[in-house]
């Protein structure tokens, strides 16, 4: 019995060693090149692929001054064209001394011309490539995607970090490869954030007039093809609908003197519920938020409950208007990028099956959308009334 017990103990002791065999990959990490970003444009031969790759010989920390100082950006861009993404990728790999891997690819940027042709081949490549993360975020540019390569990198070390910060800080719509793949189940309608490029003066740079990158609304896709775009206000309305708005700074006019009162909104939550009554489908969009006053140019008495109620109503009307405009823009082109179909399928699966083939027509003409926003002003700050300065003979609000 003791012998059997000792054998069992020995097996349990040595068994974990079989799981400590080291790296299973045949390629050492020093032999890899990690693509941080992928730019995709239409070309004469098919697709033009640009990869943003780090330069290991410029990533050595701690070198400063003297002959040991390294100069130049710690990354480079490599571009090749092919009939499809795979062929262009193989062409880039053929010239590289290291094995390219997509394990750290966080951003895909698509040029407008290619987006209008369709992004299905991009999804196919991302879904089949085993090292590609499906939480990679997508962007669309109004021109060539590789224009991003010309922007100055001032604050961050790598351009990918700028775009990842856009998504992390909720300054624009966040759409991942996984989101777009999921949308294909309901027809391939989706919404992607857009970028724009402008010449701006940058005092810290030697060449002060340079191309600057900003977010600029959103691109609406129908069956995987770009069909229209949302303005910045419409894009923010889309973020409210998608429950991606985490905090927002909004200004409304005072009901007393029509001057700006500025709020920051947080604790934002949106819920969507379809309701079917007979043959009528209604999408109820319920949104709630709390508002905190950050500044005011008005002399409105914020402690007056009636005045606060009027300000709350103006905030609610502004958000409802943005949501309605975003929905109206998509209905005009008959596309459902906010995936209202998924809600209908979840709540009413039988009814959904009956209308699924005609959903675009229902969405465009028959569905009623009722955005309802409830905003409560919670915080007025430590100063309850407008700051006033003394003027001979009267008190006046500071402007």
Q: pLDDT tens for residues 166-208? A: 888 888 999 999 999 999 999 999 999 999 887 766 666 666 6
The whole-angstrom separation of Cα 256 and Cα 300 is: 6
Is residue 50 one of the residues assigned to a domain? yes
> Is residue 159 located within the same domain as residue 99?
yes
Q: 211 to each of 88, 124, 151, how far by Cα in Å?
A: 27, 32, 5
Domain end residue (candidates: 230, 265, 290):
230
> Is residue 222 located within the same domain as residue 246?
no
Is residue 178 one of the residues assigned to a domain? yes
> Is residue 297 located within the same domain as residue 391?
yes
Per-residue pLDDT reduced to its tens digit, 118-170: 999 999 999 888 888 899 999 999 989 988 888 777 777 788 888 888 888 88
> Is residue 164 located within the same domain as residue 241?
no
- By the 8 A CB rule, do 178 and 325 touch? no
Is residue 116 one of the residues assigned to a domain? yes
Domain end residue (candidates: 178, 196, 230):
230
Among 83, 87, 133, residue whose Cα is nearest residue 108: 133
pTM above 0.75, yes or no: yes
Is residue 2 one of the residues assigned to a domain? no
The whole-angstrom separation of Cα 203 and Cα 207 is: 8
Query: Domain count of the chain?
Result: 2
Residue ranges for the chain with pLDDT beneath 70: 1, 17-31, 57, 59-72, 200-210, 381-399
The residues, ordered by sequence, that sit 6+ positions from 98 with a Cβ below 8 Å of its Cβ are 31, 32, 33
> Is residue 222 located within the same domain as residue 266?
no
Domain end residue (candidates: 207, 230, 253):
230
**Beta strands, E only, the chain:** 32-34, 37-42, 47-54, 75-82, 99-101, 107-111, 137-141, 190-201, 209-222, 225-230, 248-253, 260-277, 280-296, 368-379, 388-391, 394-397
Range of the domain at 278: 231-399
């Amino acid at each position: 019995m003791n012998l059997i017990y000792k054998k069992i103990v020995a097996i349990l002791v040595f068994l974990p060693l079989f799981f400590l065999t080291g790296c299973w990959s045949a390629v050492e990490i020093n032999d890899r090149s990690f693509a941080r970003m992928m730019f995709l444009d239409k070309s004469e031969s098919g697709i033009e692929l640009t990869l943003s790759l780090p330069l290991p010989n410029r990533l050595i920390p701690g070198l400063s001054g003297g002959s040991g100082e390294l100069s130049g950006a710690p990354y480079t861009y490599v571009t090749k064209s092919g009939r499809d993404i795979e062929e262009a990728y193989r062409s880039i790999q053929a010239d590289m001394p290291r094995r390219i891997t997509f394990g750290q690819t966080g951003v895909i940027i698509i040029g407008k011309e290619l987006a209008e042709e369709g992004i299905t081949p991009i999804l196919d490549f991302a879904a089949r490539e085993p090292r590609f993360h499906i939480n990679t975020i997508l962007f669309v540019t109004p021109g060539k995607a590789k224009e991003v390569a010309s922007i100055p990198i001032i604050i961050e070390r790598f351009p990918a970090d700028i775009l990842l910060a856009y998504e992390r800080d909720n300054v624009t719509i966040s759409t991942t490869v996984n989101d777009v793949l999921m949308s294909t189940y309901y027809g391939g309608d989706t919404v992607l954030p857009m970028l724009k490029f402008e010449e701006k003066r940058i005092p810290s740079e030697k060449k002060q007039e340079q191309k600057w990158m900003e977010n600029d609304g959103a691109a609406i896709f129908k069956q995987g093809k770009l069909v229209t775009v949302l303005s910045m206000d419409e894009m923010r309305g889309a973020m409210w609908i998608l429950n991606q708005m985490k905090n927002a700074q909004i200004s409304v006019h005072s009901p007393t003197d029509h001057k700006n009162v500025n709020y920051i909104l947080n604790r934002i939550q949106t819920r969507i519920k379809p309701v079917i009554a007979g043959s009528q489908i209604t999408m109820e969009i319920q949104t709630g938020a709390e508002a905190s006053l950050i500044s005011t140019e008005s002399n409105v008495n914020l402690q007056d409950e009636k005045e606060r109620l009027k300000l709350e109503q103006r905030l609610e009307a502004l958000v409802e208007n943005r949501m309605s405009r975003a929905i109206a823009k998509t209905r005009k082109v008959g596309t459902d990028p906010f995936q209202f179909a998924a809600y209908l399928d979840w709540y009413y699966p039988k009814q959904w099956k009956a209308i699924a083939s005609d959903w675009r027509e229902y969405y465009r003409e028959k569905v009623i959308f009722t955005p309802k926003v409830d905003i409560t002003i919670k915080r007025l700050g430590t100063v309850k009334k407008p700051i006033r300065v003394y003027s001979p003979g009267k008190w006046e609000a500071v402007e």
